[in-house]
Structure 1
Amino acid sequence: MLINKYTVIKGRNIVLVPYREEHVLKYHEWMKSEELQKLTASEPLTLKEEYEMQKSWQKDENKCTFIVLEKDKYEQTGNEIDSMIGDTNLFFATPEDRICAEAEIMIAEQSARGKKYGWEAMLLMFLYAIKTLDVKQFVVKVSFDNTPSINMFQKMGFVELSRSQIFQEVTLSKLVDDNWKIWIELCLGKFEIIDTKSEL
């Protein structure tokens, strides 16, 4: 997360901000949900462990994590915590090799589901990774029973690579090309990648 420590990305309906210490408490509450644990293949952590995880992620050059905010709510209140609805991540094999990234998206707030916020957040993350990190391929691993996510990625042009009966998940992949990049920009319409370091 050193990569995106000072990056904010604004779309039409959502804002992506770096995962910081003040977000941990609400994130921890989300991850008490057995449904989210199952969908994200996550183990429950104590609050202390969650804070330690956030700190380690912040220093990790192989991860890129953003918290997803509901834009209207955030612009009305200015409160990131109240506006949090999920998170999106990229994982790299090594800091030197960012050609391929494993991507994740989670919309944790029930009230924010079914509004295409996950779609927009994921496309913003893809575009950021293509433009800023020069990623050439994205891979996603989705639980067999997470049909909405599988359908979403397939609509984005991902194709199935493999299925793991052991992990009960499907792996899908998308190679980046100019046509796909243009398609993402057309889907997103208005977007902005902001370097907040220059504003400090």
Structure 2
Amino acid sequence: MKINENSLLEGNAVVLVPYTAEHVPRYHEWMKSPELQQLTASEPLTLEQEYDMARSWREDNDKCTFIILDKQLWADSSVEEEKCMVGDVNLFLTDPSDPTSAELEIMIAEPSYRGKGIGKEVTRMMMCYGVTKLGLKKYQVKIGLDNEISIAMFKRLHFQEVSVCKVFKEVTLEMTVDESVRTRLLGETAGMKERDYRNACSDRQEMMSQ
């Protein structure tokens, strides 16, 4: 999505950046994992297909994605950005008749980062971005029934279970963003900062060259 192609979102423990060609090799390695393929209901792609996918994330109006970076690692300009990658978070505007509704997906690909509250922080950041920048008012998540940790996390974030599909072995949860939810969400992400990604990359490169 063009709106976020140069947006960087800075949180407490993470930095969210647009999905660029620089991130593709590591992302491609992640998606060779049968576990991640199952969790994301994805098929493995060739490296060339992954580069095409990265381009589509930037250009398609119905997709918005950020790569999740470890903020502490990323703050060290000597560490390549690819090595700071933790996972990704996506919004799909799946209903042409309702542009205020989106499906949310989050993947913490690096096992060592799971269970540390990162998923919760990233979800709140992405929801806040969707509300304030895209005008979203309803979020939906679809999670495999065996992914109990993710289901529990979204329920703690006040998502409500609306259906269970035994054929695809997944549960659907939703949240409608009314004024009280919007106020709470903005409060929970009050420390989030939005910066120009190009400027941030230039600053890191200058620091590396010093």
1:175 aligns with 2:171: no
Tell me the alpha carbon deviations over residues 7-50 of structure 1, each in whole angstroms, 9 at most, x when there is no partner: 11000110000000110000000001111110111111111111
Give CA-to-partner distance per residue, 1:155-187, whole Å, 9 cap, x none.
111111111111111010000022222322333
Aligned partners of 1:70, 1:27: CA distance in 2, in Å?
Answer: 15
1:7-156 → structure 2 map (5 Å cutoff) = 7-77=7-77, 79-93=80-94, 97-156=98-157
Say if 1:197 and 1:26 are closer, same or farther in 2 by CA, change over 3 A. Answer: closer
Structure 1 110/198 Cα, relative in aligned 2: closer, same or farther at 3 Å?
Answer: closer
Letter in 1 for 2:149: P
Q: Is the 8 A contact 1:107 1:113 kept in 2?
A: yes
Residues 95/20 of structure 1: CA separation in 2 closer, same or farther (3 Å cut): farther
Q: Does 1:158 align with 2:159?
A: yes
TM-score by length of 2: 0.89
Offset at residue 59 of structure 1 (A): 1.1
Cα RMSD (Å) of the superposition? 1.9
Deviant stretches of 4+, over 6 Å: 197-200
Contact 1:12 1:188 in 2 (8 A): no
Matches of 2:114 and 2:197, distance apart in 1:
29
- Percent of aligned pairs sharing the same letter: 45
Aligned-partner residue type, residue 35 of structure 2: E
**Counterpart of 1:58 in structure 2: which amino acid?**
R
Is the CA contact 1:62–1:94 (under 8 Å) kept in the aligned structure 2? no
TM-score (normalised: structure 1): 0.93
**Post-superposition CA distance 1:90-125 (Å, at most 9, x none):** 000367842101000000011111111111111000
* Shift in CA distance, 186/91, structure 1 to aligned 2, threshold 3 Å: same
Q: Whole-Å Cα distance in 2 between the matches of residues 159 and 172 of structure 1?
A: 5
Distance 1:22 1:95, change over 3 A: farther
Structure label with greater radius of gyration: 2
Q: Is the 8 A contact 1:88 1:104 kept in 2?
A: yes
Q: Between Structure 1 and Structure 2, how many residues are aligned?
A: 200
Distance between the aligned counterparts of 1:112 and 1:135, measured in 2?
Answer: 28
Give unmatched runs, 5+ long, in structure 1. Answer: none
Distance 1:94 1:179 in 2: 24
How far has the Cα of 1:86 moved from its partner? 0.2
